[in-house]
C-alpha cells in the first residue's frame, strides 16, 4: 500500500506518522509563501482556473462533466485538488499514484458535474504549492465552508451539491451540509475526521494530537486545522431537518495518529466513524481494503458511493 506524504498528511496535519512508511513528497506548504502572498499560477496543462473570491484572494477550482447534482470534492489536510485526479495501481501498490481516468474526479465526471478545489495552504502531489492565495493559519471548518461557498459562487457552479469530504475535509463538508441544507443533496465521507473523535479519543490522546497539529504551524501559510474550534462549530450548527442521502467509507487497514504514549488511536477512530454514520443515518462501508487514503488507494469505492448518493438525490432522496 502506497503511503506517501499526501496520504499521511491528511491523517494528522503533519509529515511523519505511524501509518506506515513509503516515499515521502515535499513537506506541507513548501514554497506556499506567506499569508499575504498572491495566487500561484495554475500548473501547465491543468483544467483548473483561479476564481476571485474577494479581498484580493483567489481559489483554484477545477470542474468537469455535466449534470445535476454537482459533486464537490473536499480534500484532507494539505491536499490540493489533484488528490482526486490521482490513483494508485492496485497491481503495483508500491509505485507512486499517477493521474488517470480511474481516479475519482474524472470517473465522477462521466455521470455528473464534479468540482474539486485547492484550499489555501495546500500542496499538489508533486510537492508544489497550490494555486490558491495563502491565508493566515490555523483554519477552521467554518472558514473552509466560507471559502468553498465563495469559490463555487465565483465559478458559477450551481446547486444542489453532493459533498464528498476526505479526512479533515469531511468536517468542512458536514458543516456545509448543516448550514446550507437547502442547497445540499447528499454527503459522502471518505475516512472522514469526525467531531466524535473529541469523545472517543482519551483526554490524553486528544491533547497530544492537538499539540502535534499546533506544532506544524510554521507561520508560512501551510494548512493547519483548528479541530477544537471546528468541533464546537459543527456541534452548534443545527442538524439538517431531514436525513440526507449519505455514505460513510471507513479504512480497515489500521493506522495510527501517532500521538503520545497512551496507546493506539485506531479503536477511537473506528468508534467515531460508527457514531458519524449513525448521526448521518448513512450507509456505512467499513470494509474498504484501504488505509486512510481511500480516494487514492481505492477510487472505485468512492466513485460507487458518489454514484449511489447522486442517484438517490435525483430520485428525491
Chain Cα centroid distance, residue 6: 11
Residue 248: partners with Cβ closer than 8 Å, 6 or more residues away: 188, 189, 192, 273, 276, 277, 280, 282, 283, 284, 285
CA neighbor of 107 nearest in space, from 296, 313, 262: 296
Q: Please give the mean pLDDT across all residues of the chain.
A: 86
**What's the distance, Cα to Cα, between the start and end of the chain in Å?**
36
Mean per-residue pLDDT, 163-170: 98
pLDDT in tens, 48-91: 899 999 999 999 999 999 999 999 999 999 999 999 999 998 77
pLDDT in tens, 180-194: 988 999 999 999 999
- 43 pLDDT tier (thresholds 50, 70, 90): very low
Distance CA 225, CA 214 (A): 9
Amino acid at each position: 500500500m502506497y503511503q506517501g506524504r499526501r496520504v499521511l498528511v491528511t491523517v494528522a496535519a503533519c509529515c511523519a506518522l505511524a501509518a506506515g512508511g513509503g516515499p515521502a513528497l515535499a513537506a506541507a506548504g513548501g514554497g506556499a509563501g506567506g499569508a499575504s502572498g498572491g495566487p500561484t499560477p495554475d500548473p501547465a496543462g491543468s483544467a483548473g482556473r483561479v476564481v476571485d473570491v474577494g479581498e484580493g484572494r483567489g481559489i483554484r477550482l477545477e470542474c468537469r462533466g455535466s449534470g445535476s447534482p454537482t459533486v464537490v470534492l473536499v480534500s484532507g489536510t494539505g491536499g490540493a485538488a489533484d488528490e482526486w485526479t490521482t490513483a494508485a495501481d492496485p497491481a503495483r501498490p508500491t509505485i507512486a499514484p499517477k493521474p488517470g481516468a480511474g481516479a475519482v474526479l474524472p470517473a465522477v465526471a462521466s455521470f455528473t458535474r464534479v468540482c474539486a478545489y485547492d484550499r489555501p495552504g495546500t500542496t499538489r502531489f508533486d510537492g508544489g504549492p497550490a494555486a490558491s492565495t495563502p491565508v493566515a493559519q490555523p483554519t477552521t471548518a467554518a472558514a473552509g465552508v466560507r471559502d468553498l461557498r465563495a469559490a463555487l459562487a465565483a465559478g458559477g457552479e450551481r446547486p444542489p451539491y453532493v459533498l464528498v469530504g476526505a479526512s479533515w475535509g469531511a468536517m468542512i463538508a458536514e458543516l456545509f451540509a448543516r448550514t446550507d441544507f437547502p442547497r445540499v443533496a447528499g454527503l459522502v465521507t471518505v475516512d472522514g475526521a469526525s467531531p466524535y473523535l473529541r469523545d472517543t479519543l482519551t483526554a490524553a490522546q486528544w491533547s497530544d494530537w492537538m499539540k502535534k497539529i499546533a506544532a506544524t504551524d510554521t507561520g508560512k501559510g501551510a494548512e493547519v486545522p483548528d479541530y477544537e474550534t471546528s468541533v464546537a462549530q459543527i456541534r452548534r450548527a443545527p442538524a439538517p431537518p431531514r436525513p440526507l442521502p449519505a455514505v460513510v467509507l471507513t479504512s480497515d487497514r489500521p493506522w495510527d495518529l501517532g500521538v503520545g504514549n497512551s496507546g493506539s488511536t485506531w479503536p477511537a477512530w473506528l468508534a467515531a466513524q460508527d457514531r458519524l454514520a449513525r448521526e448521518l443515518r448513512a450507509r456505512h462501508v467499513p470494509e474498504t481494503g484501504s488505509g486512510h487514503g481511500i480516494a487514492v488507494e481505492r477510487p472505485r469505492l468512492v466513485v460507487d458511493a458518489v454514484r449511489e448518493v447522486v442517484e438517490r438525490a435525483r430520485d428525491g432522496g
